[in-house]
Amino acid sequence: MSQLRAVLVDDEPLALQLLQSMLEEIADIKVVATCRNGREALNAVVKYTPDILFLDIQMPGMSGFDVVRRLQGDTIPMVVFATAYDHYAIEAFEVHAVDYILKPLEMERIELAVDRARARARQEDNARGSTRDHKAQLLASLQTAQPSSSTEGTKTVESSGKLAIKDRGRIVLLDQFEIEWIDAAGDYMCIHATGETHVMRSTLKDLQKQLSPDWFKRIHRSTLVNLKFIDQIKVLTKGEYLLTMKSGSEVKVSRNYRTPIKEYLEGTSANIS
């Protein structure tokens, strides 16, 4: 994949410098502009047409969400929100952000966001039309979703092996074995299953307790996968793996969480490259 071009937006100079220094340590990403407010960000997007926008939310004059809503047409880059506040996560998903990072920034979390951006870029290159349709469906489904606490709206139906997820005033019973993978953004979980993404408020640790330990394995501090949906495993440097799921999604295995995947490799005929 070609180099990702990034624009960074934050009204705090130190936070902006820290983010830039972290990204400069990551291969195949180039910071083309840094901005202190929303107006500068809009101008930078028009001028540089970046692939990815790292965007603070609370800024004077124009918020990060205001910036996203004013972007137009083919100039819209992928968005990663970087903020000190976790209660904007649902709004972030409504504008189909790639990731939602909480400050203080950590290198491992920045790397994961870049990996997710690369994966989305590949998916959009391969199926641009279907990806846009999915985004529209996701936006429509999220606009009326109202999760309210870490326990309200989600519980396990133990006898049936299902998750009960509160969605738009109704309870969706989701068979846990239809779940492909789960990623966390702050206190919100994105549950990817049967071509849809369900959002609920929970911690990854609490959610993992509700799922089958035989099939659901933690592969990163913020990611769980269902082993039966792994289609291909690519061995990376530094003891890491890149998993391609049956849906085509790609998720990275951190070296600190690689043991379950190594054990899975020993007992499966999964496609390994």
pLDDT at 112 over 90: no
pLDDT at 228 over 80: yes
Q: Give the chain's end-to-end CA distance (angstroms, integer).
A: 17
Convert the pLDDT of each residue in 53-103 to its tens digit.
Answer: 999 999 999 999 999 988 866 568 999 999 998 888 878 877 778 888 989
pLDDT at 146 over 80: no
Alpha helix stretches (DSSP H) within 12-147: 13-23, 38-48, 64-70, 89-94, 107-126, 128-142
Which pLDDT does position 269 carry in this prediction? 55
Q: Tell me which of 233 and 145 has the higher pLDDT.
A: 233
Average of pLDDT values for 129-154? 42
**Which pTM was predicted?**
0.58
Architecture of domain 4-140: 3-Layer(aba) Sandwich (3.40)
Say which CATH superfamily domain 154-272 falls into: LytTr DNA-binding domain (2.40.50.1020)
- 53/92 Cα distance (integer angstroms): 13
Instruction: At 92, list the tokens.
Output: 């972030």
Q: Tell me which of 93 and 203 has the higher pLDDT.
A: 203
H-run or E-run covering 208? helix 204-209
- 97/233 Cα distance (integer angstroms): 26
User: Where are the domains positioned within the chain?
Assistant: 4-140, 154-272
Torsion of CA 261, 216, 150, 110, to 10 degrees: 20
